[in-house]
Structure formats: structure tokens, C-alpha cells
């Protein structure tokens, strides 16, 4: 599928009412300071077939509805309409967000975009490149297909919002579009109070950002996921332990196959170590807990270590089980004791990783990150502006190397995995028989 779009209009959308003076200065938190200066991507596809209330002939009406509701929701999410200053605060000056309308080339219909989606082509439906922030914290692009379909592409600054905040923004926005603003909770801006910013951030959150990684989309059907979960729990977990979750099982499986295909690169004496990361939503882990409407980057990383010298064992079931256990142990460490130290600006986790990496380098080794993130079980397919729920919700080519992003399929039973790797590693993974047997469709 080759996607070509023609941008036919650009404008800036400002909040429908001015931000009060006492809210003009929005301080970034310590956690915001440690988040990548990239965009979180999301594309929502809607099939508005001929004869629908909002068919192609009514594209202006669709655009007007999106613009009006966007202007209204920005009064609630006012930092998104401001400008970041010196990477320390947002001047909530209501200068607005980017809004564009694009026409999709006639050779690409909505069904084409969904039947053989290419992550690099999906980027065309987005208003910005993901790898580097511009002046806007939020951009929206309305893409109009010739035969009655649209795609709404969003880019939200990761410097201001984590995945849950991005999803809550969309949830609130579509409620406003439906005239149901009074039924949704208001965002809460408390992150900087709980995690005050520091003068010196000791590591570069953009260190793993790259344009060189290749992103491909793989789909795991429900029966495959269930088989992998069962495989990793057989005779391994005690009766008191929960069986592997879908995300735990798929993370362990993808990691084990990646480890297997690259194992020949490392000798038994290799000083390279892989660090596996999983983001942990800390809203409910805090005391007292925060609501899901708490805006900002309210996550930390659970992590576990995998020496490269052990990768030769990665094809065994025992390795998969141990991977699940390590994932759980890493996430469990993100508790209130850990978060209290983070609130004081003491990031022991990152300090340990940085010092460990230095030690490995001195020995001629290297610490290599491999990260997983998940949008599964979030209500993305409930995003109804008033013309029905999305036919499909997608990500795009990722801005990082060695990253896997999970999203639900339309049915909610399967999982789409967007995997970003070096080109040579992707080729090796795609040639792995165990991996290919598990995936039902591939978006290259």
C-alpha cells in the first residue's frame, strides 16, 4: 500500500475560552523531564460509507465538528494549547494547536489502508514527524478518503503526556464532540506537585530515539496468545500465582525469539547485557492513589537484566517462564517506597542503570535496552465523535529502536504488535519459524 496525501488546509485551533491568568504557568514535573521529547502517535479510522450522515460530500461538516470540539476541549487541557519554555514549564498562552486537512490519493481507499497497513505509510496520516518536537504540543490531521472514509491522526507531545493521558484526552474530546462534556471527569494537573522538577536531569531521555529502526506490524490472534500463556504456565507457576497475562506472555515470547535469532552474535563470554523495560502506570500505586484523569507523565519503568551470554538458552520453555518471572519482579519493585524516593528527585533506578552501563563499557561491553509498552484494554475503540466508533485504531512507525508497542485488535481478543528493530535484526526475526508460526498477518 502506497499512501500519498495532499494537505489542502492548515490552521491553528485555539481554546474556545481564554485560560485564566492563575493557570498560565504549568510547571513540568521531574517525570516530564525524564520523558522523551517525541510525539505519541494515534490514528483513528472511520468508515463513513456512501449514504452515511457524514459521507464524503459532507467533509466540511466533519472538519467543522472536529475543529469546534477541539477548541472546546482545549479549555480543559489548556497546557496542550501553550508553548514549552526552556524545558521547564508551559506558558499556557492559548497560542493553539496545529490542525490540517489532507486528501488521500484516490488509489488508496480506506479498506486498503486497513488490509495491508505499513507502519511507515501510516505516518502519512499524522501531522508531524514523531522523532522531534516542534512548537506544538498537539497536532491533528483529518485525512479524507475519496469513497467515504476518514482517518483522524493525532500527535501528542510525550514531554507533556504519557499514553494514558493521551487516551483520556481523546476520550474527553469525543465526548465533547457528542455534546456530552458534562458527563466526563475533568483532567487533574498535580504531577509537578508530587514530583517537583530538578535542575539537573542526569540522563538523556532521547538517547534511544532514531530514524534508522524498521517498524513492522504483527498480529497475534486470541488462540495464539492463549497457547503462549498456557505454554509459560505449565508446571511452572504455583497455585498461588496468577497465570501470565497476555502482555507478559507476548513480551516473553517476542523477547525469547529476538534473543534466539541474535544469540549467534554473542559469545558465552560476551559482556553485553540487555535491559528489558515495561512502563508502570503509577497513578494507583501512589498513596493516596490518583485518578486516571491525572494528566502528565505518571509512569516509571519496571526492568530486568538479561546477559547476552545466556541468550543461547532462549528457545526453551524454562527461559520463557523465567522471563515472565523477571518481568513481574521488575514491575513489583515500582512500589510506594520506590516512588517516595522519586518524589525526592532520587532516581535510584536510572542511577543504577547508568553506573552499570559505565562498568560494562569499561570491560568492553554494552548495556542495550529493549522496551515494551501497551495500549491494550484502553477504550480506544469507543472514540465516537458522533458518526460511529472507529473501524480501526493504529499506531505508526516508532521513533525508537528495540521497542514493541501492543494494541488491541478491533475485536479486543487479538493483539497487534508494532516492533521496531535494526533492519538486520528485523530480517532475522522474520526468518524465525517459531515467530512466523505465531503471527497471522504481517504489516511490513
**Catalytic residue flag (residue 384):** yes
- Interior angle at CA 119, CA 39 and CA 415, nearest 5: 95
Distance CA 203, CA 84 (A): 20
Catalytic residue among 32, 94, 158, 266: 158
Specify the long-range contacts of residues 199-206, CB closer than 8 Å, at least 24 apart.
201/33, 201/34, 202/347, 202/350, 202/351, 202/354, 203/34, 203/350, 203/354, 205/33, 205/34, 205/35, 205/36, 205/37, 206/36, 206/37, 206/38
Q: Reply yes or no: is the peptide bond before residue 223 cis, omega within 30 of 0.
A: no
Containing H/E element for 406?
strand 403-408
Q: What span, in angstroms and rounded, lies between the C-alpha atoms of 56 and 48?
A: 8
Biggest CA-to-CA distance, the chain: 67
Strand 25-27 vs strand 89-91: parallel, antiparallel, or unpaired? Answer: antiparallel
DSSP-assigned states of every residue in 115-164 = HS--HHHHGGGSSS-SSS--S-SEEEEEEEETTTEEEEEEEEETTT--HH
DSSP string computed for 333-372: T-SHHHHHHHHTT--HHHHHHHHHHHHHHHTT-EEEEEEE
Across 18-132, the runs of DSSP E, i.e. the strands, are 25-27, 39-47, 83-85, 89-91, 97-104
Query: Known catalytic residue: 56?
Result: no
| Active-site annotation holder among 55, 91, 112, 384 | 384
Buried b (16+ CB within 10 A) or exposed e, 148-169: bbbbbbbbbbbbbbbbbbbbbb
Quick one: which of 223, 222, 168, 152 has its CA closest to 412?
222
Query: So which residues are the catalytic ones?
Result: 158, 384
Amino acid at each position: 500500500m502506497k499512501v500519498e496525501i495532499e494537505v489542502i488546509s492548515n490552521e491553528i485551533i485555539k481554546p474556545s475560552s481564554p485560560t485564566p491568568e492563575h493557570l498560565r504557568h504549568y510547571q513540568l514535573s521531574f517525570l516530564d523531564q525524564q520523558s522523551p521529547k517525541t510525539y505519541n502517535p494515534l490514528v483513528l479510522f472511520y468508515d463513513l460509507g456512501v449514504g452515511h450522515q457524514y459521507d464524503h460530500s459532507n467533509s466540511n461538516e466533519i472538519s467543522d465538528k472536529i475543529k469546534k470540539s477541539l477548541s472546546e476541549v482545549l479549555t480543559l487541557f489548556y497546557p496542550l494549547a501553550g508553548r514549552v519554555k526552556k524545558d521547564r514549564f508551559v506558558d499556557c498562552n492559548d497560542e493553539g494547536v496545529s490542525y490540517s486537512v489532507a486528501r488521500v490519493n484516490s488509489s488508496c481507499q480506506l479498506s486498503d489502508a486497513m488490509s495491508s497497513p505499513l507502519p511507515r505509510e501510516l505516518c502519512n496520516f499524522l501531522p508531524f514527524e514523531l522523532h522531534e518536537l516542534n512548537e506544538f504540543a498537539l497536532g491533528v490531521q483529518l485525512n479524507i478518503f475519496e469513497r467515504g472514509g476518514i482517518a483522524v491522526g493525532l500527535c501528542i507531545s510525550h514531554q507533556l503526556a504519557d499514553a494514558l493521558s493521551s487516551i483520556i484526552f481523546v476520550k474527553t474530546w469525543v465526548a465533547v464532540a457528542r455534546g456530552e462534556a458534562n458527563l466526563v471527569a475533568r483532567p487533574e494537573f498535580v504531577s509537578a506537585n508530587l514530583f517537583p522538577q530538578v535542575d539537573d536531569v542526569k540522563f538523556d531521555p532521547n538517547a534511544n530515539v532514531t530514524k534508522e529502526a524498521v517498524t513492522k506490524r504483527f498480529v497475534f490472534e486470541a488462540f495464539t496468545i492463549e497457547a503462549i500463556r498456557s505454554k509459560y504456565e505449565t508446571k511452572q507457576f504455583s497455585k498461588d500465582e496468577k497465570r501470565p497475562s497476555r502482555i507478559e506472555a507476548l513480551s516473553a515470547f517476542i523477547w525469547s525469539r529476538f534473543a534466539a535469532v541474535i544469540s549467534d552474535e554473542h559469545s558465552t563470554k560476551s559482556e553485553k547485557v540487555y535491559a528489558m523495560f515495561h512502563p508502570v502506570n503509577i497513578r494507583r500505586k501512589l498513596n493516596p492513589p490518583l485518578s486516571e484523569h491525572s494528566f502528565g507523565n505518571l509512569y516509571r519503568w519496571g526492568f530486568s537484566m538479561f546477559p547476552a551470554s545466556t541468550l543461547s538458552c532462549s528457545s526453551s520453555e524454562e527461559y520463557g517462564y523465567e522471563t515472565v518471572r523477571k518481568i513481574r519482579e521488575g514491575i513489583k519493585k515500582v512500589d510506594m517506597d520506590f516512588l517516595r524516593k522519586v518524589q525526592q528527585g532520587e532516581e535510584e533506578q536510572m542511577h543504577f542503570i547508568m553506573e552499570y552501563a559505565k562498568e560494562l563499557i569499561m570491560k568492553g561491553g554494552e548495556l542495550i535496552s529493549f522496551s515494551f509498552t501497551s495500549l491494550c484494554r484502553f477504550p480506544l475503540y469507543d472514540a465516537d465523535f458522533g458518526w460511529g466508533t472507529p473501524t480501526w485504531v493504529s499506531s505508526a512507525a516508532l521513533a525508537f529502536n528495540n521497542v514493541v508497542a501492543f494494541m488491541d485488535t478491533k475485536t479486543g481478543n487479538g493483539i497487534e504488535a508494532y516492533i521496531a528493530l535494526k533492519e538486520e535484526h528485523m530480517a532475522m526475526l522474520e526468518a524465525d519459524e517459531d515467530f512466523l508460526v505465531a503471527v497471522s498477518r504481517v504489516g511490513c
